[in-house]
Amino acid sequence: MAKKVYHGALARSFGAAYTKYYEWAVKERSEYYEGLEKHYREFRRDSLVRSCVVTNAFYATSKGFETVLEVADPGGLSEEQIATELEEYRHVKDEIDALNKIVNMDRVLFIAQLKRSVYGSAGFEIVLDRNKVPEKLISLESEELKPDVSEDWNLTGYTYRGKKGAYDPDSVLYFVNLSFDGFNGISDVEPVLDIIKTRRTIIEKDLPETAEKLWSPPLILTVDVEGLSDEDADKAVTDIIANVEPGKSIALSQKVTATPIEVKPDIPGLVQSLEYCDLEIMGNFKTPRFLLNREKQLNRATSEKEFEAYINGVIAEIQRYFKREVERQWYDRQVHRILGIDDGDPLPIRVKHVWNPITVEDFYEMADAVSKLWGVQGGGPLGGRLDKVWDLMHWDKKELK
Is the pLDDT at 182 greater than 50? The verdict is yes
Is the pLDDT at 196 greater than 90? The verdict is yes
pLDDT at residue 224, as a whole number: 75
281, HSE (Cβ side, Cα atoms, 13 Å): 28
Express as a percent the part of the chain with pLDDT over 90.
54
pLDDT at residue 87, as a whole number: 94
pLDDT at residue 133, as a whole number: 95
If pLDDT is split at 50, 70 and 90, which confidence band does 221 have? confident
Is the pLDDT at 216 greater than 80? The verdict is no
If pLDDT is split at 50, 70 and 90, which confidence band does 377 have? low
pLDDT at residue 4, as a whole number: 45
Question: What does the pLDDT look like over 275-317, one tens digit per residue?
Answer: 999 999 999 999 998 888 887 666 667 778 888 899 999 999 9
Is the pLDDT at 170 greater than 80? The verdict is yes
3-state SS of 249-287 is: CCCCCCCEEEEECCCCCCHHHHHHHHHHHHHHHHHHHCC
Span 102-121, mean pLDDT?
97
Q: Could you state, in order of their start, the residue ranges of all structural domains in the chain?
A: 219-260, 359-401
Contact in structure between 281 and 202 (CB atoms under 8 Å): no
Is the pLDDT at 273 greater than 70? The verdict is yes
pLDDT at residue 209, as a whole number: 79
Is the pLDDT at 379 greater than 60? The verdict is yes
If pLDDT is split at 50, 70 and 90, which confidence band does 376 have? low
pLDDT at residue 119, as a whole number: 97
pLDDT at residue 232, as a whole number: 77
pLDDT at residue 329, as a whole number: 96
Express as a percent the part of the chain with pLDDT over 70.
76
CA distances from 336 to 97, 102, 182, 229, 349 (A): 15, 19, 23, 93, 10
Contact in structure between 140 and 19 (CB atoms under 8 Å): yes
Is the pLDDT at 72 greater than 80? The verdict is yes
Span 173-178, mean pLDDT?
96
Is the pLDDT at 351 greater than 90? The verdict is yes
Write the CB contacts of 80 (distance below 8 Å, at least 6 apart in sequence).
none
If pLDDT is split at 50, 70 and 90, which confidence band does 48 have? very high
The residue with greater pLDDT, 241 or 171, is: 171
Write out the E strands in 252-376.
Answer: 256-260, 349-355
Q: What is the CA radius of gyration of the chain?
A: 29
pLDDT at residue 287, as a whole number: 95
Q: Which of 57, 39, 28 is nearest to 394 (CA)?
A: 57
- What is the rounded CA–CA span in Å between residue 348 and residue 336? 10
pLDDT at residue 312, as a whole number: 92
Span 220-248, mean pLDDT?
76
Question: What does the pLDDT look like over 317-350, one tens digit per residue?
Answer: 999 999 999 999 999 999 999 999 998 899 999 9
Contact in structure between 306 and 315 (CB atoms under 8 Å): no
pLDDT at residue 239, as a whole number: 78
The residue with greater pLDDT, 77 or 98, is: 98
